[in-house]
Amino acid sequence: MKPTKLKEHLASVHPQHASDSLEVLQIKKAPFEKSGTVPKLGFVPPQKPCLEASYKVAYRIARSKKPHTIGESLIKPCALEMVELVCSLEQRKKIESIPLSHDTINSRISDMSTNILEQVIRELDSTPFPFSMQLGVYVNWSW
């Protein structure tokens, strides 16, 4: 916000703090900067190996042209059973933290397709030879 709007907001919404000095407001702000608010809401960012595993599963789902729900309905339960039988419960907990919901898989596939498109465009832009791309258009003229 602009400083004038901040002053108006402070005076109209928080009149009890309008006369506070800058130092007092900075002291009140300090605890909020130290504590993370996102983890308090229950969101824990995925660890890098779990994130990578989620992308690899999404890639395989996309390559096999299966529905995106297969990740949470088939792949994850099977992986949990295999890890529990072969390894330990600690390893099962790590596998449980891999996000494989429908929306997550859809988002991962969308991210990968956007990345591929950007790479192709970057390669085409960096070619030393000028060329033109032609789009074939089929027009059905019916009178």
pTM for the model: 0.59
The per-residue DSSP string of 36-76 comes to: -HHHHTT--PPPHHHHHHHHHHHHHHHHHT--TTHIIIIIH
Give me the pLDDT at residue 116, please: 94
Q: Between 39 and 26, name the one with better pLDDT.
A: 26
Identify the residue with better confidence: 137 or 127.
127
pLDDT at residue 11 in the model: 85
Count of structural domains, the chain: 1
Q: Are 37 and 84 in contact (CB under 8 A)?
A: no
Q: Flag whether 13 is in a domain.
A: no
- pLDDT top residue among 16 and 36: 16
pLDDT per residue as tens digits for the range 59-89:
999 999 999 999 999 999 999 999 999 998 8
Residue 17 lies in a domain: no
- 29 assigned to some structural domain: no
Provide the residue range defining the domain that includes 58: 48-124
Question: Does residue 60 fall inside a structural domain?
Answer: yes
